[in-house]
Amino acid sequence: MKGVSVGLIIGITIGVVIGILLAISTLFCVKYRRKHSQIGNSSSRRAATIPIRANGADSCSILSDSTMGPESPKSSDANSRSLWIEGPKRKSVVSMSGIPKYPYKDLQKATYNFTTTIGHGAFGPVYKAKMSTGEIVAVKVLATNSKQGEKEFQTEVSLLGRLHHRNLVNLVGYCAEKGQHMLVYVYMSNGSLASHLYSEKHEPLSWDLRIYIALDVARGLEYLHDGAIPPVVHRDIKSSNILLDRSMRARVADFGLSREEMVNPHASNVRGTFGYLDPEYMSTRAFTKKSDVYSFGVLLFELVAGRNPQQGLMEYVELAAMNTEGKVGWEEIVDSRLDGKFDTEELNDIAALAYKCIDRTAKKRPSMRDIVQALCGVIKLKQSKKNHGRALSVTEEEVAIDVVDQTDTQIPVTELRREESINSSVDLPEV
């Protein structure tokens, strides 16, 4: 009887031990699956679908809607959802969101062994490349000694993989081979806005073109703030990060410092370009949409004055504001290269808008949606004046012809025709 009891106790003990081991194994399996499920969900959230609203609410009707970026001829890397980047101390993953993958040898050949340099930034050199399909692209190569560049590479890929707008420089592919990390963009043949404002190699930008460029940039930022899901703040708006295509349409570039607004808006280090940085961000370290608005205001004053913050732009603006009260009288800061060829009312409207954007209190600054509407209003008024001028010119010509018929006196109708021709020949780019 005693032997039976001992055997029973031993059997029960063994059963309990086996049960505990099974429970522990089951718990580990559940935790493992849950962890991988969270990683998958996080990747899905970052590779969000294209926003439902392409260009913000109430965009002015005289401008065409935003379009999707051009398709790359390269096929997507269908078997891989992510790109592993080898860091010095870690491995990190970036969601590719279906972005085409270019072989290293193809980019090496297209850039003539990386000899076609067209620029160089903190990220690394940029090359012009002609692909075997005939497509012209720009290839940005991460410098091998750039620790920050690796983070920016990940940011640009993860953001631009899902952001598509006609006023953003579109990412068309990437390469991560042979220890190199490269980003492939649509080629912007007219270079940066900064080069057109400050380089003697280019003709001065006309006043009308400056307004259209400002609107292009505003629409790109409005898309990031109000059209992207989740919203995105750019964090480095400046004239050198605005690129111009062959039609002189402006696109916002360089998203290496960008953040999704809801993800960690606070950063310990100040990032961006001094002179364009929001004073409130400098003191609080919190970068918001209104910080982008401040930078855009500085850019507007660049377009008006033809000088950058490193040339004392903001001091120049503040001195002028003492006389204008932020509303009228901004003629004293206008770019001398315009030779007086600008509309004074438009100048005051643009400068007054820019002054609101650089208000030291973020809450008092307009939103990018408000800015787009204000710029649309300036352009609509411009078109109205032009149409009114054409109608008036036709009326004057009819009167002149009638006088000639009645008095047989030579009146310079050709002068009227010449003025009408000049008015109608202002060929503003389609936006």
What CA–CA distance (Å, rounded) separates 43 from 221? 25
Q: Dihedral sign for Cα 215, 216, 219, 224, please.
A: negative
Residue type at position 11: G
Q: What is the pLDDT of residue 322?
A: 87
Note whether 77 and 190 are within 8 A (CB).
no
Q: What amino acid positions are annotated as catalytic residues? A: 236
List, for residues 13-36, the tens digit of each pLDDT value.
887 778 788 778 777 776 666 655
At 418, is the pLDDT very low, low, confident or very high (cuts 50, 70, 90)?
very low
Two structure tokens written together for 394: 């036709």
CA 279 to chain centre: 21
CA distance 57 to 227: 9
Rounded to 10°, the helix 344-357/368-407 angle is 180
Q: How far apart (Å, rounded) are the C-alpha atoms in residues 317 and 303?
A: 12
Give 328-365 pLDDT, tens digit per residue: 889 999 999 999 999 999 999 999 999 999 999 999 99
Cα–Cα distance measured from residue 167 to residue 251, given in angstroms and rounded to the nearest whole number: 4
Residue 206 and residue 213: Cα distance in Å, rounded?
11
Class level of CATH domain 92-187: alpha beta
Cα→Cα distances 42→47, 78, 91, 220, 349, Å: 9, 19, 17, 26, 45
188-387: CATH architecture: Orthogonal Bundle (1.10)
pLDDT value for 127:
95
Phi and psi, residue 187, nearest 5°: -80, 130
CA–CA gap between residue 374 and residue 300 (Å, rounded)? 13
Residue pLDDT, tens place only, 380-393 = 999 888 887 776 66
pLDDT for the residue 1: 54
Element containing residue 159 per DSSP (H, E): helix 147-160
Q: Is the pLDDT of residue 298 over 50?
A: yes
- CA angle, residues 253, 287, 122, in degrees to nearest 5: 40
| C-alpha count within 13 angstroms, C-beta hemisphere, residue 172 | 21
Q: Are 425 and 208 in contact (CB under 8 A)?
A: no
Domain boundaries, given as residue ranges, for the chain: 92-187, 188-387
Eight-class DSSP state of 199:
-
pLDDT at 86 over 50: no
- Write out the two tokens for 278: 């929001």
Say whether pLDDT at 110 is over 70: yes
**With 0-12 CB in 10 A as exposed, 13-18 as middle and 19+ as buried, what is 252?**
buried
Residue pLDDT, tens place only, 32-60: 666 555 434 433 433 333 333 344 444 46
Cβ neighbourhood burial of 271 (10 Å; 0-12, 13-18, 19+): middle
pLDDT class of 93 with cuts at 50, 70, 90: very low
Handedness of CA 225, 231, 233, 238 (dihedral sign): negative
